[in-house]
Structure 1
Amino acid sequence: MHETGLAPYACDPALSRGRRYFEPPAPTRTEYQRDRDRIVHSTAFRRLVYKTQVFLNHEGDLFRTRLTHSLEVAQLGRSIARSLRLNEDLVEAICLAHDLGHTPFGHAGQDALNDCMTGFGGFEHNLQSLRVVDALEDRYPAYDGINLTFETREGILKHCSRRNAELIEARESGGVGRRFLLGQQPSLEAQLCNLADEIAYNAHDIDDGVRSGLITLEQLREVPLFERYRAQAQAQYPQLGRATGRRRLLSEAIRRMLSDQVYDVIAATRAALAEHAPSDVDAVRGLPALVGFSAGMRAQSRQLKSFLFRELYRHPQVVQTTDGARQVVRELFALYQAEPRQMPAAQAGWALEGDAQQRARTVADFIAGMTDRYAAREHERLTGQRLLG
Structure 2
Amino acid sequence: MSETERQSLVGAPTALALEAHLAPYAAHSARSRGRRYPEPAPSARTEFQRDRDRIVHSTAFRRLEYKTQVFVNHEGDLFRTRLTHSLEVAQIARSVARNLRVNEDLVEAISLAHDLGHTPFGHAGQDALHECMRDHGGFEHNLQSLAVVDQLEEHYGAFNGLNLCFETREGILKHCSRENARRLGDVGERFLAGRQPSLEAQIANVADEIAYNNHDVDDGLRSGFITLDQLAEVCLWHTHHEAARSEYPRIDGRRLIHETIRRIINTLIVDLIETTSANLARVRPASLDDVRESPPLVAHSDEVAAQAAALKRFLFKNLYRHYRVMRMANKARRVVTGLFHAFTDDPRLLPPAYQARGPVAEESANDAAPPAYDGSQARLIAHYIAGMTDRYALKEYQRLFVIDNN
TM-score for the superposition, normalised by structure 1: 0.95
- 1:316 is displaced (CA, Å) by 0.2
Separation in 2, partners of 1:139, 1:69: 25
Separation in 1, partners of 2:140, 2:34: 26
Separation in 2, partners of 1:332, 1:349: 17
Separation in 2, partners of 1:134, 1:340: 25
Aligned pair 1:306/2:313, yes or no?
yes
Q: Which runs of 5+ in 1 are unaligned?
A: 170-174
Q: Deviations over 1:286-316 (max 9, x none)?
A: 1110001011010001000000000000000
Q: 2:61 aligns with which of 20, 45, 50?
A: 45
8 Å CA contact retained: 2:356, 2:377: no
Separation in 1, partners of 2:403, 2:308: 41
| 1:298-337 alignment runs, 5 A limit | 298-337=305-344
Q: 1:382–1:28: structure 2 CA closer, same or farther, 3 Å change rule?
A: same
Q: Give the counterpart letter for 2:352 in structure 1.
A: A
Separation in 2, partners of 1:109, 1:139: 27
Q: 2:194 aligns with which of 155, 180, 183?
A: 183
Query: What's the % identity of the aligned pairs?
Result: 60
Q: Deviations over 1:247-285 (max 9, x none)?
A: 111000000001111100000000000010011001111
2:372 is aligned to none
2:302 is aligned to 295
1:263 is aligned to 270
Separation in 1, partners of 2:359, 2:234: 54
| Helix, strand or coil at the partner of 2:111 | helix
Q: Deviations over 1:103-151 (max 9, x none)?
A: 0000000000000001111000000000000000011111110000000
- 1:354 is displaced (CA, Å) by 3.0
Q: Deviations over 1:148-187 (max 9, x none)?
A: 0000000000000111111112xxxxx1000000111000
Aligned pair 1:223/2:234, yes or no?
yes
1:172 is aligned to none
Separation in 1, partners of 2:193, 2:174: 15
Separation in 2, partners of 1:154, 1:253: 35
2:123 is aligned to 107
| Helix, strand or coil at the partner of 1:254 | helix
Separation in 2, partners of 1:186, 1:57: 33
8 Å CA contact retained: 1:379, 1:385: no
Q: Which runs of 5+ in 2 are unaligned?
A: 1-14, 366-375
| 1:1-389 alignment runs, 5 A limit | 1-2=15-16, 3-169=19-185, 175-240=186-251, 245-350=252-357, 352-356=358-362, 357=365, 358-384=376-402
Separation in 2, partners of 1:277, 1:131: 35
TM-score for the superposition, normalised by structure 2: 0.91
Q: Give the counterpart letter for 2:393 in structure 1.
A: A
Q: Give the counterpart letter for 2:390 in structure 1.
A: D
Q: Deviations over 1:188-243 (max 9, x none)?
A: 00000000000000110000000000001111001101110000001111112xxx
8 Å CA contact retained: 2:240, 2:264: yes
Q: How much is the aligned-residue C-alpha RMSD, in angstroms?
A: 1.1
Separation in 2, partners of 1:49, 1:371: 8
Q: 1:139–1:259: structure 2 CA closer, same or farther, 3 Å change rule?
A: same
Q: Give the counterpart letter for 1:100 in structure 2.
A: L
